[in-house]
Amino acid sequence: MKPYEATIHEAHDLLRTGQLSSVEITRSVIERIEAVESLVHAFLTVIPEEALEQARRADERRATGEDNPFLGVPVAIKDVISTQGVRTTCGSKMLENFLPIYDAFVIERLKALGAVMVGKTNMDEFAMGSSTENSAYFTTLNPWDLARVPGGSSGGSAAAVAADEAIFSLGSDTGGSIRQPASLCGVVGMKPTYGGISRFGLVAFASSLDQIGPFTKDVTDCALVLNALMGHDPRDSTSLQFPVPDYTRALLPDLKGVRVGLPREYFAEGIDPEVEKLVRAAIDRLRELGAEVGEISLPHTGYGLASYYIIAPAECSANLARYDGVKYGYSAPDAESMWDGYFKTRERGFGAEVTRRIMLGTYALSSGYYDAYYLKAQKVRTLIKRDFDEAFQRFDVLAAPTSPTVAFKVGERVDDPLAMYASDICTIPVNLAGLPGISVPCGFSQDLPVGLQLIGKPLGEEMLLRVAYAYEQSTDWRKRRPQLV
Amino acid sequence: MGSDKQASSTQKAGGISREEVEHVAYLARIGLTEEEKQRFQEQLSDILEHVAVINRLNTDAIPPTAQVIPLHNVMRADAARPCYPPEEIIANAPRVEDHYFKIPPVLEEQEASLGGPPDI
């Protein structure tokens, strides 16, 4: 095994037993980036010198007897998460030269543990998109087929882990932006419960939906990252207060007594038959592992996309009002007045999809339309949440596809916003209800990865990890890697 | 300006007129080219037509959900805390003077064709 191929727990074993140093693992990851990045284009910024310096410090800390699973382990960070002194663009020309003056909560935590940041990953501009094609810089390509997208918006973080350009990575998920690219790239991706991981330092898109989470090579690593990042932070006013368990204790090999619900609306029209077959085979496997499987209806599922595409743009239009060319970011140099400067700055600084969503959200919130769109969508959100509440009276976890299709071709949906939005039809309701969701690889259709989505109760991450782990350990999917060089 | 103008120029259910596109772009302070106005009119009409499916649901008795967690009015103690030095706060600013953000003129020419606030 090459060092760059390691999981977090494998890297930890190598480091703990002195077989490899962090400098050696980090150098291996940097060489891997140099070898494949010209094909995958996962990173907006790579910081090899800084990474090696962090690795040297991690080795020094370990030499003093310090130990934790992240000490000296290379990580990639989605470029929507603030990193002090390291360019944070959000995939936008608006923030092309933005250098945050503080670290996000999750970066503080990872730095305290001694993780080694190798770079910032590509994404759809301001996390709006499902393919990375909305990045103002370039499109990341799927390591399994370079003619296809990696999914999005956290496509760079997903592709980086799939291509072994990082041991693990962080992304953000507002409507599926971790789970959908994890599915399309064949890695594990989790969106925790809303409020489970602090959003302090996460550049805001839709604040009632945004959540940070990990991309990892297996479920054990996912549990380790939750151990590191879950918990209360007073600087995020929507951060939950709860006792943080040791999530690795949830990793059990069988599913005796676990009740798994199949929401029938997630297996309806629009789902690729091959994807459905693989997801249903995975569910059969859950049954073999001891789970009790039953059908359930979530009758308002079909309204999720519509509700989301009012609520998310409405919140986005308010959040992105801050880009005014005054405090930071692009500013039109030829502004003739303050007003003229707003129009020119925002016209040139934002790409088409961001402008489209700001327009849509502004319309939905404008005088005469607020009740018909925004308030109505929030009421539908209540109905969607109630569907889940009822389902969790009978079931511990729900199982469904993550994405209705495998990775689509670059350019295939880019001119059709509604077709692109439909990429997230299976993931969006989970954000509306604030629930945890995980995507775990469940096979291949025409050599392209397919993901099984598991949805849990609020703060039900342990049950999700248990089901995902038992399933993963009963398969060999995680051992298959894309052939890049 | 506002809802009267919007209502009178709505062309079809879920559709959006060119005047509305211009009005919304004005509210959002985003400049648009003529070609963009045309494209956004078509695309926003399609999207609004699609999201109109929620009108099939009767939600008269349903309370809205703004966010999903049972937290309200989280407060912190009103106590002084350390803050960032001014040099860092303005470090990313496009234009500064001393410790201030510098902006183009606010009061001059605002009634001209520069998109100022004509009647708010």
Q: Distance (Å, rounded) from C-alpha A402 to C-alpha A217?
A: 17
Whether residue A153 lies in the annotated active site:
yes
Q: How confident is the model at residue B109, as a pLDDT? A: 52
Q: How confident is the model at residue B1, as a pLDDT? A: 33
Q: Hey, which residues 46-105 in chain B have their CB within 8 Å of chain A?
A: 46-48, 50-55, 57, 59, 62-69, 71, 74, 76, 84, 88-89, 91-95, 101, 103-105
Q: What is the dihedral of CA A178, A347, A208, A421, to 10 degrees?
A: -50
What pTM value is reported for the model? 0.95
**Tens digit of pLDDT for each residue in A17-67?**
999 999 999 999 999 999 999 999 999 999 999 999 999 999 999 999 999
**Closest Cα in chain A, distance from residue B11 (Å):** 15
Q: Partners of A448 in the beta sheet? A: A445
Among the four given CATH numbers 3.90.1300.10, 2.70.98.30, 3.40.50.300, 2.60.40.790, the one describing domain A3-258: 3.90.1300.10
Let me know if A473 is exposed, middle or buried by CB neighbors in 10 A (0-12, 13-18, 19+): middle
Q: Which residues contact A258 (CB under 8 A, 6 or more apart)?
A: A286, A290, A291, A292, A396, A397, A463, A466, A467
Give the Å distances, CA to CA, from A407 to A144, A254, A445: 9, 31, 10
- Kindly state the tokens that stand for A56: 């040297």
Q: What does A234-270 look like in DSSP terms, one character per residue?
A: TTSTT--------GGGG--S--TT-EEEEEGGGGSTT
What residue ranges define each of the domains in chain B, with the CATH number in brackets? 1-56 (1.10.20.60)
Whether residue A78 lies in the annotated active site:
yes
Whether residue B119 is predicted with pLDDT greater than 90 in this model: the reply is no
**How confident is the model over A184-197, as a mean pLDDT?**
98
**Tens digit of pLDDT for each residue in B72-104?**
788 888 999 999 999 999 999 999 999 999 998
Domain boundaries of chain A, sorted by first residue: 3-258
**How confident is the model over A339-363, as a mean pLDDT?**
97
Q: How confident is the model at residue A415, as a pLDDT? A: 86
**How confident is the model over A129-156, as a mean pLDDT?**
98
**Closest Cα in chain A, distance from residue B104 (Å):** 5
Mean residue pLDDT of chain B comes to: 82
Q: How confident is the model at residue B117, as a pLDDT? A: 53
Complex ipTM: 0.91
Q: Which band of pLDDT confidence, cut at 50, 70 and 90, is reported for residue A270?
A: confident
CB–CB of A430/A191 below 8 Å? yes
